[in-house]
Amino acid sequence: MASASVRRKASNLAVLLVAAAIILGGVQWVALANSFEAPSTPGRPTHSVEIVPQIDLLAAVQSQTTWMKKMGPTGQGNEYFQALRKFIEPYKDHKAVKICQRLLDRGFSYDAPVNFALHLGPFPDLLPWTEYHDYIVQRAGGREILEEFRVALRDLAQESKFMDFVAGWSDRYAQWIVAASADLDLKKVTDWLSGFFGWECQEFHAVLSPGMFRGSYGPRLYAKDGSVIAYEVIGGMPDATASPVFSSTPKGLERLSIHEIGHSFVNPTLEKHAERVSAYEPLFRKVESQMVKQAYSNVSTFFNEQVLRAVTAIASRDLYGEASYASEITYNEERGFYLTRFVAEVLAGYTKQRDKYPKFTDFVPVLLDRINSEQLQRPDKRQSPAVYIAAAAVVTIGAVLALVSTKKKRGLRPGGAPELPSQRPPGSGPVNERRASRDARLHLRSKDTGPLRARSSSLPHLPAIQRTRPLPGSRPAWSYRRLPSSRARWASWSLRP
């Protein structure tokens, strides 16, 4: 027992030493969950990798809803999620779970609940440290339901003693934060973004969420003075079964952070041009079904994402090389963001003319003009499948009409049978029996040596007919007579005089 205690203390000391080294080295700050403070608090670090208990409380509640069917882990999930779900399961009928489910049914999902949780201040009261953003108020259907949800979360945390659960995992939190920090140079990412866009956010926070899966989000919040607080919330890999894993590739967290924190720069910039962006609806319609599956359900979210992915490709080239740029372009185009290369090439003009366009906001009108003239008004080469189907239908109908016209000129009916002269009006003149015989052989010959037959269903306009022998001394002519009803399904022709 003594040796186990010594090992545990040594492990904790090692974690603290690594965290101290990161802080003193100036790479970034590491924040622990039980030391959460609201943004803009004096002395709060401007860069942090952290675990926020408000996000984990939300994850616990969502684990008891139908959200798990769509965004849950593969199998049982990592060890932390299993413990979190087991801890909150006795409260599955709590009001907080019911409100969460009601909001999910309304469409308050993906980034919206995460954005809401980050508005909440420290435990136990969870009072909002800033006013709810209009975005989440609209998504939820009103401020009242958000307040009702906040109060229910507060009550659930107190009744379940959730902060005791958090305290029990604090050592593991520290380990996960240190491991993630080794793969994420947050300051390098934010310096590139600030330099590219020409302005800075007040704070940058990378929040690890070991109880969430299949998604990372880039919400932004506003301090009371109007400055932007940039967040990214990083979910765990869904197939991890032991410790949570937040990336499966080297520098994967760093690349992800470029994208997620980039939302805090791109989105507010393009929101100022919402009217012009709304005119790009035709560009969105081309890939609408593909976008909806990825939760980009309107032209605004699609266009924000399209521009951001082009910026991410440029960042990849600057930070990781040309091969990374090409990989980003291909990856995004395969997922329906077909303007990625075009936007990146247009933005190359921005990077080369920073003296003329000091900030990204100065260049956005140029970008929108180029998209309008070169994409929106240009004939589309990427036609939807419906266009090709319609074109094929037109060609097919034209071919059929041409064939029918040809057969009529040759004296044939649409079904392929020879037109029988006896059905012409009286006095229409003799018929060339040799020609009729030749046409009949061409179109009605069968492999049998017996009479040629054709189903009457292919000749709905003809009665059951049979050629009759002409009277002696008369001119050869065609006539017809009805066959017995038992043979009415078939029409037979004999070509012998």
- Please report, for the chain, the start and end positions of each structural domain, with discontinuous segments joined by +: 11-251, 272-382, 432-440+452-497
**For residue 22, pLDDT beyond 90:** no
Highest average pLDDT, of 244-258, 345-359, 421-435, comes from 345-359
Side-chain-side CA neighbours of 49 within 13 Å: the count stands at 29
**For residue 15, pLDDT beyond 80:** no
**For residue 24, pLDDT beyond 80:** no
**Per-residue confidence band for 76, with pLDDT thresholds at 50, 70 and 90:** very high
- Give residue 280's Cα distance to chain centre: 18
> Looking at residue 401, what is its pLDDT?
78
- Does pTM top 0.85 for this prediction? no
> Looking at residue 473, what is its pLDDT?
55
pLDDT digits 0-9 by tens, 291-305: 999 989 999 999 999
pLDDT digits 0-9 by tens, 86-103: 999 999 999 999 999 999
> Looking at residue 458, what is its pLDDT?
43
CB crowding 90-110: b at 16 or more within 10 Å, else e = ebeebebbebbbbbbeeebbe
The label of the residue with tokens 């951001």 reads: 308
Q: Which two tokens stand for residue 37?
A: 């403070």
Query: Average pLDDT in the 262-286 region?
Result: 96
* Helix, strand, or coil (residue 302): helix
Query: Average pLDDT in the 261-290 region?
Result: 96
> Looking at residue 38, what is its pLDDT?
57
**For residue 48, pLDDT beyond 90:** yes
> Looking at residue 209, what is its pLDDT?
97
**For residue 451, pLDDT beyond 70:** no
CA-to-CA distance for 50 and 209, rounded, in angstroms?
9
Mean pLDDT across the chain:
80
- Give residue 409's Cα distance to chain centre: 55
Query: Average pLDDT in the 221-230 region?
Result: 89
Burial of 376 (0-12, 13-18, 19+ CB in 10 A): middle
Percent residues over pLDDT 70 in the chain? 69
CA-to-CA distance for 456 and 102, rounded, in angstroms?
63
pLDDT digits 0-9 by tens, 390-437: 666 766 787 777 776 665 555 544 444 444 444 444 444 444 555 545
**For residue 483, pLDDT beyond 90:** no
**Could you tell me which of 375, 313, 383, 369 has the C-alpha nearest to residue 341?**
313
**For residue 464, pLDDT beyond 50:** no
> Looking at residue 449, what is its pLDDT?
43
> Looking at residue 462, what is its pLDDT?
43
**For residue 192, pLDDT beyond 50:** yes
pLDDT digits 0-9 by tens, 149-161: 999 999 999 999 9
The answer to whether 259 and 157 are in contact (CB under 8 A) is no
**For residue 368, pLDDT beyond 60:** yes
**For residue 478, pLDDT beyond 60:** no
Longest dimension (CA), the chain: 130
CA-to-CA distance for 430 and 417, rounded, in angstroms?
19
For residue 241, give every residue at least 6 positions away whose Cβ sits within 8 Å of its Cβ, in sequence order, or none. 75, 76, 77, 78, 79
**Per-residue confidence band for 460, with pLDDT thresholds at 50, 70 and 90:** very low
Query: Average pLDDT in the 466-492 region?
Result: 46
Return the minimum-mean-pLDDT range out of 208-217, 257-266, 384-393, 426-435. 426-435
> Looking at residue 324, what is its pLDDT?
95
CB crowding 315-325: b at 16 or more within 10 Å, else e = bbbebeeeebb
Q: What are phi and psi of 218, to 5 degrees?
A: -125, 65
> Looking at residue 399, what is its pLDDT?
75
> Looking at residue 27, what is its pLDDT?
38
> Looking at residue 8, what is its pLDDT?
47
**Per-residue confidence band for 488, with pLDDT thresholds at 50, 70 and 90:** very low
The answer to whether 267 and 300 are in contact (CB under 8 A) is no
Q: Which two tokens stand for residue 60?
A: 């616990």
**For residue 328, pLDDT beyond 90:** yes
> Looking at residue 160, what is its pLDDT?
97
CA-to-CA distance for 91 and 97, rounded, in angstroms?
8
- Count, in order, helices (H) and strands (E) of the chain: 21, 8
